[in-house]
Amino acid sequence: MTFIIPIGPQHPALEEPAHFRIEVKGEEIVGVDLRLGYNHKGIEQGLSDRSYAHGLYLSARVCGICNSTHSLAFTRAVESVAGIECPDRARYIRVIDAELERIHSHLLWAGVAAHEIGFTTLFMLFWRDRELSLDMRELLFGQRIYASGTYLGGARVDIKEKDIPQLIRTLNKLEKSVKHYIDVCTSDRTIIARCSGVGVLKKKDARELCAVGPTARASGVDFDIRRDDPYAAYGEIPFDVIVEQDGDVFAKVVVRLREILESIDIIRQAIDAMPKGAIRTKFPENVPENEAVGRTEAPRGELMYYVRSNGTNKPERVRIRTPSYANWPSVRPMLVGGTIADIPIVVASIDPCFSCTDRVTIIDTKTGKSRIMTKEELRRLRK
Amino acid sequence: MNANEVAQLIKRYADDVKIVGARQVFAATDKERYIEALTALVDNDLRHLTTITGVDRGDNVDVIYHIHCGESLLNLKLSVPKTSLEIETVTDIFPGATLYERELMEMLGVQVKGHPDPRRLFLPDDWPAGKFPLRKEAKK
Amino acid sequence: MFPGILFAGAVGLLFAGIDRKLTGHMQNRIGPPIWQEFLDVGKLFGKEDITPTAANSFVFNCAPLLCFGAIMAVMLLLPINSSQPVLTSVGDLIVIIYLLNIPAVCMMLAGYASGCPFGTIGSSRYMVQLLGYELAFIIAALAAAAKVGWSLSLSSIVSYQAQNGWMVSQVALIPAAIAILIAAQGKLLRAPFDIPEAESEIVHGSLTEYSGPKLGILRIAYDIELFVVAAVIVVLFFGGPVPHTIYGIYIPGVVGFLIKCLGIVVLSTVIRNIAARLRIDQALKFFWTFPTLLAAISLFLVVVT
C-alpha cells in the first residue's frame, strides 16, 4: 500500500515553496509528482512592459543568487539585438562579476547541502567562508548579494587598482579553505555514506531530459556555455570544465567544489589580463526590430534569454529559460527507487532555485488567490 | 557542430536559414516539416533542447525551438495561425520538452496534441480557462 | 525534592545549555548562553495548548506525561549522592533499562497518534533505531553487572568500583564502555543517529504536531534523559558518586558525579558535531555490527575470566 508524503510548500528542506507529492512504500519512493508555481512573479510580462534599461534591473531580480548572470544574459541578448559591442575592459569586469557570483552560489549551496544531510557544523563552516566571497563582491561592486556589475553597453562600475591586493588576499584565503573542504568531503565517512550512490542520474537520462549545469556535468555530460558559446572574455581565458562520471550526489558535490577552485583561477587570470580603457559605450534608447538569443553559464547551468525588439524602447517579447527550470524533469529518475531520507539531499543536489523556475506571467492580482489555493490543496491532501 | 554545418543540415527542412554572429542559426519551418527537422537533429546526436519559446505576433503565434548544437545554437521557428492553433508534441523526440510545452499551452493557448501530462504548470488551479496571460489581447 | 524534579530538571536543562554553547563554539560561532534552555522551556509553557483535530487526543495528551514520569522514576533509582539511591529494589538495572525505554515507546505512540505523515514516519524510524541501539546497550550493561557477580543492584556496582577502581579501568570492560557510549548516542537521538527527528527530512518526526506546554514537557523530559543516560553510564562504568576529601574539605559524592556526567555529555556533543546524519538502514547495520560486537566481546571476556 503506497503512502503519500507531502513535501512542501512549507518544509524545512526547501528554501522556497514547491510541492512534491511523494508516494512511498515504507521508506522507498515509488512515485514523484511536482507542483511549481508558488513563486510566480510575472517577470516575462513585466519585461515587455518596461524599457530595456529598466528591464535590466528587473531581470536581475529573477533570482537572488544568480542576479549577475541574469542581467548578463539579458544584456548579451539585448546587445546582440541592437548590434552593440561593449568595450574590452567591460568584458573582463563581467567575467570577474560572474565568477565571484559562481563562488558565492556554490558555497551557499554547499552549506545548504550539508544541512540537508544533518551535518550542521559543516553548514556553519561553509557559510563562514561564504562571507569571504560576499566581502569581495561588496569591495568591488558595492553590494553583497545584488551586485550585478553589468550595464547595457558595458559594466556598471570600474574595478579600482587599490582594491586588487585585497581581492587577491581574500581569494588566496578562500582557495585554502575550499581545498580543505574538498579533503573533508571526500574522506568523511558519514558524508560519503549519505551522498555516494544516492540520487544517481544516468548519462542517458541527463541528455534526454536536457539537464544542464553541474547536474549534467556530474553525469558525464560535457556541456558548459563558457566554453561552447563563449561570452564576455571567456574566449580569452583558458580554464577547465569539471566533469565527473558517477552521476550521484557525491559527484555533484565534487563538481561544484572544484568549480570554485576554477573560478578563483579564472578571476586571477582576468585581473592580470584586464586591459585599461573605457567601461561603457553608448546604448541607443530605441532598438531596431530584430531578435536574438543570449546565453550564459549561470552557477546552476545554462541560462537563456530570447529577446525580440520592435523598434521602440521596450522589448516586444522576452523569454527566459533558467537552469533550474531545465533540471526539474531530472529529479524524478533521481528520486524513484531511493528512500525518504534521500529526498532533501537529492532535491538540493540540482541546486533548485524556485525563484528562477516560477518567473512566468501572472497579469493581475490573482497572486493572492494562488496562496489560498495552496491551503486548499493541503486540506485536500490531508483527507 | 558549428553554425555552417547546422545550416547545411537544416536547409532541407526549413527556409530562410540565416547565420547570425558567429554561432547562431535562425531558420523558419512549417507544420509539415518540423517533426522531420527535429528528428534529423536527434539522429545527428543533437539532443539538447534548450527551450521552446512562444511569441504572440498578432495573427500567428511563433513557436521557436532552441536547440543547442555543440558549438552553435539553432533557433527553429514555426509559425502557427491562431485560427488553428495546434501542434504535435515533441516529447517523444526530446523528452526534456515536457515542461516547456505545458507552459506553452497555459500561457499562449497553443494546443499541443499528444502531450503525456497536459496539466497547468505555473498558473493556479482556479485561473479561468481560456485566459492566456502572454497573449496580446490579455494586456490591459 | 533532591534528587527530585527540581534537581533533575535544573541539571538536565543546564547540561543541554552547555551542549548548545559548546556546539556553537565548535561551529565557529558564539552560541546561546548556557541558561538558554531554561528560557526556551519557560517560553513554551507560556504558549497556547493545541491538539490537532486529526490526532488521537487521549494518546497525544498522555504521551508527554508518561515520558516525564518514566524519566523521573529512573532518577529516583540512580545512586546520585552515595551508593544508595533513593529507591531500591531487586534487579535495579533491569528496571532502569525498562523504564528508559518508556519514553521511546511514548514518543512512538505520540507519533502515530499525531495524525500526520511525518509523525508516522518518525515513529517507524524510531522503532527500527530502538532495535539497533537497545541490544548494544543491554549487553554492555550486563557486562558491567557480570563483573560484580551478576548482581543487578546498582549500589553493589558502585561499591565494587569504590573498592576496585572504575569499571572502565579493567581491560575486559573497555569495549563495553565504548559500546555503551555509542548506544547512548543512538538512545538520545543525537547525530549521527538523530534519524527519527531528522529536521530537514520529516520536519520533527514524532514531535511535529506538538507545541506549547506539551512540547515543553517533552523538552524537559528529553533534557533530563540526557542527564540520566549519562548518569547510568557513569554509575556502570565510571565509578558513580564517590565522596572525596581534598585538603580537608569534604566534597559530597554528587559533585564528582555531576562532573563525570558532564564529561560524558561533552563527549556526546563533540561526536554530534563532527558527523552527518546517517540513513536508518545504515544506522541499523552499524549498530548491529560495531557496538553490539564490542559489548558481546566484553561480556564474553568477563564471563570467561
> Is the model's pLDDT at A21 over the cut of 80?
no
What distance in Å separates residue A272's CA from the closest CA in chain C?
A: 34
Query: Which residues on A lie below 8 Å from B94 (Cβ)?
Result: 208, 210
> Is the model's pLDDT at A381 over the cut of 60?
no
Where is pLDDT greater, at C249 or C188? C188
What distance in Å separates residue A121's CA from the closest CA in chain C?
A: 5
Domain harbouring B106, CATH code: 3.30.460.80
Look at residue A354 in the predicted model and tell me its pLDDT.
Answer: 65
Q: Name the CA radius of gyration of chain B, rounded.
A: 15
Whole-number Å distance between alpha carbons of A297 and B53: 19
pLDDT class of A364 with cuts at 50, 70, 90: very low
Query: Which residues on A lie below 8 Å from B124 (Cβ)?
Result: 37, 366, 369-370, 373
CB distance from A84 to chain B under 8 Å? no
Domains of chain C, residue spans:
5-304
> Is the model's pLDDT at A218 over the cut of 90?
yes
Look at residue A371 in the predicted model and tell me its pLDDT.
Answer: 29
Mutate to test the interface with B, among A21, A226, A293 (most CBs of B within 10 A): A293
What distance in Å separates residue C208's CA from the closest CA in chain A?
A: 12
Look at residue A339 in the predicted model and tell me its pLDDT.
Answer: 79
> Is the model's pLDDT at A39 over the cut of 70?
no
Count CB atoms within 10 A of the CB of residue B78: 20
Look at residue C118 in the predicted model and tell me its pLDDT.
Answer: 77
> Is the model's pLDDT at C1 over the cut of 60?
no
- Percent with pLDDT over 90 in chain B: 14
- Percent with pLDDT over 90 in chain C: 0
pLDDT class of A377 with cuts at 50, 70, 90: very low
Name residue A192's amino acid. Answer: I
> Is the model's pLDDT at A253 over the cut of 80?
yes
SS3 C77: helix
Q: How far is CA C266 from CA C140, C221, C255, in A?
A: 21, 19, 17
Query: Which residues on A lie below 8 Å from B53 (Cβ)?
Result: 306, 317, 319
Q: How far is CA A336 from CA A198, A358, C298, in A?
A: 11, 24, 43
**Pick from C54, C199, C280: which is nearest to A341 by CB?**
C280
Q: Mean pLDDT over residues C100-129, rounded?
A: 82
pLDDT class of A373 with cuts at 50, 70, 90: very low
What distance in Å separates residue A108's CA from the closest CA in chain C?
A: 16
CA angle at residue C264 from C263 to C266, to 5 degrees?
65
Question: Exposed, middle or buried, B8 (CB in 10 Å: 0-12/13-18/19+)?
Answer: exposed
Taking an 8 Å cut-off on Cβ atoms, the answer to whether A208 and B94 are in contact is yes
> Is the model's pLDDT at A376 over the cut of 60?
no
pLDDT class of A363 with cuts at 50, 70, 90: very low
- How do residues A145-190 score in pLDDT, each as one tens digit? 888 789 999 998 999 999 999 999 999 999 999 999 999 889 988 8
Phi-psi category of C205—alpha, beta or left, where left has phi over 0 and alpha has psi -120 to 50? left
Taking an 8 Å cut-off on Cβ atoms, the answer to whether A193 and C273 are in contact is no
> Is the model's pLDDT at A360 over the cut of 50?
no
**Which segment of A159-163, A263-267, C145-149, C213-217 scores lowest on mean pLDDT?**
C145-149
List subunits contacting chain B, requiring 3 or more Cβ pairs under 8 Å: A
Query: Which residues on A lie below 8 Å from B60 (Cβ)?
Result: none
> Is the model's pLDDT at C274 over the cut of 90?
no
| Average of per-residue pLDDT values in chain A | 84
Task: Name the domain count of chain B.
Answer: 1
Q: Mean pLDDT over residues C208-237, rounded?
A: 85
Query: Which residues on A lie below 8 Å from C29 (Cβ)?
Result: 124, 128
All domains of chain A in start order, with CATH: 41-335+345-379 (1.10.645.10)
Per DSSP bridges, beta strands B24-29 and B15-20 are: antiparallel
Query: Which residues on B lie below 8 Å from A361 (Cβ)?
Result: 107, 133-134
B touches C (3+ CB pairs < 8 Å)? no
Q: Which three cell numbers stand for residue C217?
A: 514537557
Are the CB atoms for C184 and C137 separated by under 8 Å?
yes
The whole-model pTM stands at 0.84
Look at residue A382 in the predicted model and tell me its pLDDT.
Answer: 33
- How do residues B37-83 score in pLDDT, each as one tens digit? 889 888 988 889 999 998 888 888 899 999 998 888 999 999 999 88
Domain that holds residue B73: 3-139
Are the CB atoms for B37 and B76 separated by under 8 Å?
yes
> Is the model's pLDDT at C151 over the cut of 50?
yes
What distance in Å separates residue B11's CA from the closest CA in chain A?
A: 20
- How do residues A5-19 score in pLDDT, each as one tens digit? 777 666 666 666 777
Size of interface A-C (CB pairs under 8 A): 83
For C280, the closest chain A residue by CA position comes to A341
